[in-house]
Every structure is written in C-alpha cells, then in structure tokens.
Amino acid sequence: MDFTHSDDRRMLADMAARFVREKYTIEKRHEFAASDEGFSREIWAEFAELGLIGAMFSEDVGGFGGSGFDLAVVFEELGKGLVVEPMLANLVAGKLIEHAGGPEQKMLLEKVIGGETLITFAHSEPDSHYDLAHVATKAEKTDKGYRLTGHKSAVLNGDSADLLIVSARISGDAGDEDGIALFLVNPRADGVSIRGCPTVDGGRVGEIALNGVEISDKVMLGDGTDCFAHIEKATAAGIVAISAEALGAMQVSTEMTLEYLKTRKQFGVIIGRFQVLQHRYAEMLIEIEQVRSSLINAAGQLDGGRELREWNVSALKNLVGRVGHLVAEECIQMHGGIGMTWEYALPHFAKRLTMIDHQFGDEDYHIERVIALSAA
C-alpha cells in the first residue's frame, strides 16, 4: 500500500498545473466560455500537444496512461482553473470506444488524442434523470442498417462534436439494461438536429433530436454486446474525473475564502478572528480531505471488478455532491456580498461545484446506488 504518485504521474500533474496557472486566467476562461463553441480551439490544440488528452487513454489505443489516477491528477488541476475545454466529453466518449470499439473504431482515438476530432456521448434523455438504463431512443433495423429516432438531452459539448456516440434501443423498454446499442453518428447526417446552448456554470451542451436518422451497420460500436456494462464503466471514469475536478475547485474556493477571512475587517478586526467562521472553515477542510480519500479509493478501483468499482465510484459521487454543496454555499456566505458578484472568481467556482452534482448522478441517486450495491 502506497499513497505516493509515481514520478511520471507527478510530472503530468505538474505540467497540467503549470498550464492552468500560467495560461488560464479567469478572464480568459470567461472569454472562452462566452465564445460560440464555449471553449478555445487553441487551448484544445495545446492540450493535445502537451499530451493531456493522451493521458486519458491507454497505450493500446495510442494514449499514455488512462488509469484512474491519471484522470484524477489532470482533472484536479483543470478544476482549479475552471477549464471549459471539452475534456470530460471526450474522455467519456473516448472510454466507450476504448472499451467497446472494434479495431478500426479504436483508430479514431488517435485523432481524438491529437485534438483533431471532438467526440461526445449522447446518452441522457428528457425522462432519464440519471438512470443509465433509461434509453427510449429507438434503433429500428432496416435493410442497410438502423434508423434512429429519439431525443438526447444536455449532451456535453454536443454542439461542437465531430462525432456523436448515440445510445439507442434495439430491443426491450426504457429502463432495461439489455437491448441498448451504441452507434457512431455524424452530427451533420440527415435527420440529426442539434440545438446548442450555454450552461449556467460556463459550459456548453446540445439538445439533440434524432428524426429517423439512417445509419449503416458499420457504425455500431463494437459488436453491440454488453453495451450497458460499457456505459457504466465509461461513466465511472467520468465520475472519477469530474470528482477530481470538484476537488480542485474546492481547494481554490477554500483558499480564496481563507484569504478573504484574513483580510476583510469588520468591527475593527479581521473576520477570521470570529470563531463561528473559523469552525465552518475547519469543517470544509475536513470534508475536502474526505473527498480526496474517496477519490483515491474510486480511482484505485476504476480498472478493477465491477462491484468494487461501482461501490467506490458511487460513494465518491455522493460525497462530492454533499461536500461540493457545502463548500459552494459556505464560501459564498463567508464572503458576503462580494461572493455574489460576477466580477469575482469565487462564485464561478461555487456554480461549477453545484452543477457537478447535476452530472452523472447527484448525491441522492448515488446513495441509492450505494445501498443497492451494498445489498447485492
């Protein structure tokens, strides 16, 4: 048992940290977020060049990492800069290809790692809430392949992707784990309409309508078997990543709050002298250490067996939900009015922390999952 990172991974983390610190000011971030695509193509190209995208994937598919801890150290640094580039979207979609794709499909990842192709997973639907098996989108068999009909909601960076991985049902009903298949779909294909939209925390999503999209057999990901298991596993990677992002955002939020408590004066003293604030600050620090530990637990199980992996991942996301909520609200409150202003960076971290609970399942969803997995 050892809790220190290898030299290689420390270098990866340092590189990501340096990039965020030196090139990713909050002003730049707002500028990227407000642009048409919601991120900077230049920054994305730099991520590719630095190998940050490659660090998400295994050597088998042209990456140089891909373990839970590689994801964790990179995303923790991205979280400190509120990075808006589509790393999460490409990670989750890329993991589907890495795990489920056939040999030719896996070749696609070279271009993803090189930053030339953007991909995303079009999975959640208007009525799915966070249920991964709730796929109502239909894939009907045709002579040439399949016809896709359905709706996909809040698809991460769905308006800028070059390729969509669409989940659709070839048999059974919404909620069944069996009968789901995954398809590689060109977003410009006939019958696909995408409405892009900014998110409340600075990202971009697409609402995607699939109106009888004709696709060939060849675009089915892999052989179409075990798709639910692949979805679950790719989502687990997404949860480790987004939780690490949350951990980074929590650290910056509490550092800013500490600085404020040490400088803001009222009643003739710095407000950090007040015990009521000291204790609330200390409680956040304790909980953030818990998140770090939970992240270690989940990252370490990401490539392990399903039961341990899913228990630890859901435990992590539940804890991140609880602590993210605590840190977001407490940091704003301790700042008072200044914590409410757009001009100041803190509230943007708080917004991101809050909205992270709306991705890949919130604390309630994951506590139910922990209960179910514990009983199994």
Partner 1 sequence: MDLNYNEEELAFRKEVQDFLAEKLPKRIADKVKNLQRLTKEDMVEWHGLLNDRGWLASGWPKEHGGAAFDAVQKNIFEEEACRAGAPRVVPFGVGMLAPVLMAFGSDEQCAHYLPRILDGTDWWCQGYSEPGAGSDLASLKTSAKRDGDHYIVNGQKTWTTLGQHADWIFCLVRTSTEGKPQQGISFLLIDMATPGIEVRPIILLDGEHEVNEIFFDDVKVPIGNLVGEENQGWTYAKYLLTHERTGTAGIGFSTEGLEQLKRIAKLQKKSGKPLAQDPYFAARMAKIEIDLAALRTTNLRVLQDAMSGAASPVDASMMKVKGTVIRQAINDLARRALGPHALPFVSEALDAGYNEPPIGPDYANPVASDYFNNRKLSIFAGSNEIQKNIISKLSGL
The distance of closest approach from Cβ of residue 48 to partner 1 in the complex, given in angstroms and rounded to an integer, is 25
The distance of closest approach from Cβ of residue 259 to partner 1 in the complex, given in angstroms and rounded to an integer, is 9
Binding-site member from 48, 136, 285, 355 for partner 1 (CB under 8 A): 285
Phi, psi angles (nearest 5°) of residue 184: -90, 115
* Under rule CB under 8 A, residue 294 binds partner 1: yes
* Under rule CB under 8 A, residue 301 binds partner 1: yes
Q: Which of residues 1-20 bind partner 1 (CB under 8 A)?
A: 1-6, 9
Q: Which of residues 255-274 bind partner 1 (CB under 8 A)?
A: 258, 261-262, 272-273
Structure tokens at 41: 């193509």
Distances, alpha carbon 103 to alpha carbons 2, 29, 100, 126, 254, in Å: 35, 37, 10, 33, 46
* Under rule CB under 8 A, residue 300 binds partner 1: yes
Which range binds partner 1 by CB under 8 A, 85-93, 95-103, 208-216, 281-289?
Answer: 281-289
* Under rule CB under 8 A, residue 342 binds partner 1: no
Q: Which is nearer to partner 1, 19 or 260 (CB)?
A: 260
* Amino acid letter, residue 257: T
How far is Cα 65 from Cα 55, in angstroms, rounded to an integer?
5
How far is Cα 61 from Cα 67, in angstroms, rounded to an integer?
13
The distance of closest approach from Cβ of residue 236 to partner 1 in the complex, given in angstroms and rounded to an integer, is 16
Q: Which is nearer to partner 1, 286 or 342 (CB)?
A: 286
* Under rule CB under 8 A, residue 129 binds partner 1: no
How far is Cα 367 from Cα 329, in angstroms, rounded to an integer?
21
Which residues, 6+ apart, have CB-to-CB distance to 288 below 8 Å?
A: 247, 250, 251, 254, 323, 327
How far is Cα 238 from Cα 310, in angstroms, rounded to an integer?
12
**What is the widest separation between alpha-carbon atoms in the chain?**
80
Give contact residues for partner 1 (rule: CB under 8 A): 1-6, 9, 69, 258, 261-262, 272-273, 275, 277-279, 281-283, 285-286, 289-294, 296-297, 299-301, 312, 315, 318-319, 367-368, 370-371, 374-375
